[in-house]
Amino acid sequence: MLKKITAAAGVVLLSVLTACGSGDGGTSSTNGGAKDGLTMGFAQVGAESGWRTANTKSIQDEAKAAGIDLKFSDGQQKQENQIKAIRSFIQQKVDVIAFSPVVETGWDAVLEEAKAANIPVILTDRAIDSDDDSLYKTFLGSDFVEEGRKAGKWLVENAGGPVDVVELQGTTGSAPANDRKKGFAETIASKPEIKVVASQTGDFTRSGGKQVMEAFLKSVPKIDVVYAHNDDMGLGAIEAIKAAGKVPGKDIKIITVDAVKDGMTALAGGEINYIVECSPLLGKQLMELAKKVKAGQDVPKRVVTEETTFTQEQAKAALPTRQY
């Protein structure tokens, strides 16, 4: 039923992960400013999750491997910080600006400034909501609606009777939160006995997931399933479920998105029931796209990441060779 495409899907994107700092809200530069090479300004969302940490490492490692001078900024989940970073990249006249927009709307003004300065912009991981697609060259990242559908499909296939679901949403206004909610809702609509009875943001963090789940456990009379928009919130929910004397994975089933190491470990250990993969290893493709954009070559407007899904058994098999 589920295709074993794990290895094939992951391998093209693999990178060697080494430890490096994720920034402190300021901008840091690596490679000492390769004079003839390409300079990239990268405005990251923050360091909210295991996914984000792996994504940052992938970008820093692959910039180094490609000889790209990376100016990296950590936006600490705040749009204003990302806008400030982009403005400073424009002032510094970088060759390419890449960024992962924390929320979907509100980017037109700053991207028009980049356009006026003739600095190409690449969106990575998350998309923007704008009528003007000339504001960026390409968008590299996952299909989040499809991820939500995959989560919903597993539940539709595995739900016996009536199922009450609580949803832990990602950051309000972010593309993955909007789209994972949409894809899931669309899919479970085919089975009226599956209902989302409560839905709230946990901001993609472990502590957020824990806090919201604690509140749900007090206020929602029957909870059969948790659908968390990422592993970290699911892991926070596990703590809350255990503290309430219930068994995660059994009394309350858990579906998450990402498939980072900690999530996969909980899945293999029976505390999560299903994970939809979202690959953070975007660094290599991003550097390749940046080089092409700088050279004035055509790039596809949309590059979609290849991804799979994991059951508990598949997680056990995949864990020993998992890269993130």
**Which one of 43-51, 104-112, 131-139, 182-190 is the stretch in contact with ligand GYE (CB under 6 A)?**
43-51
CA distance 167 to 25: 30
Q: Residues 71, 126, 149, 291: which binds ligand GYE (CB under 6 A)? A: 126
Nearer to ligand GYE, 39 or 124 (CB): 124
Residues 192-211 that bind ligand GYE (CB under 6 A): 204
**Which one of 44-52, 62-70, 83-91, 282-290 is the stretch in contact with ligand GYE (CB under 6 A)?**
44-52
Cβ atoms of residues 208 and 251 within 8 Å: no
Nearer to ligand GYE, 163 or 168 (CB): 168
Can you tell me whether residue 88 is helix, strand or coil?
Answer: helix
167 touching ligand GYE, by CB under 6 A: no
Q: Are strands 96-99 and 194-201 parallel, antiparallel or unpaired?
A: unpaired
Best CA proximity match to 43, nearest among 61, 59, 58? 59
51 touching ligand GYE, by CB under 6 A: yes
Best CA proximity match to 167, nearest among 144, 143, 150, 151? 151
Q: How far is the CB of 174 from ligand GYE (least distance, A)?
A: 7
Decide: residue 108, CB within 10 A, 0-12 exposed, 13-18 middle, 19+ buried. Answer: middle
52 touching ligand GYE, by CB under 6 A: yes
305 touching ligand GYE, by CB under 6 A: no
274 touching ligand GYE, by CB under 6 A: no
Q: How far is the CB of 263 from ligand GYE (least distance, A)?
A: 9
Taking the alpha carbons of 155, 156, 158, 160 in that order, is the dihedral positive or negative?
positive
Angle ∠(194,196,198) on CA atoms, nearest 5: 150
CA 181 to chain CA centroid, nearest Å:
14
Tokens of 218: 């007090």
Q: How far is the CB of 231 from ligand GYE (least distance, A)?
A: 7
181 touching ligand GYE, by CB under 6 A: no
**How many Cα atoms sit within 13 Å of 60 on the Cβ side?**
21
**Which one of 45-53, 62-70, 156-164, 193-201 is the stretch in contact with ligand GYE (CB under 6 A)?**
45-53
Can you tell me whether residue 39 is helix, strand or coil?
Answer: strand
Residues 228-247 that bind ligand GYE (CB under 6 A): 230, 232
CA distance 89 to 210: 37
Q: How far is the CB of 183 from ligand GYE (least distance, A)?
A: 13
Instruction: Give me the residues that bind ligand GYE (CB under 6 A), please.
Output: 48-49, 51-52, 125-126, 176, 204, 230, 232, 257-258, 278
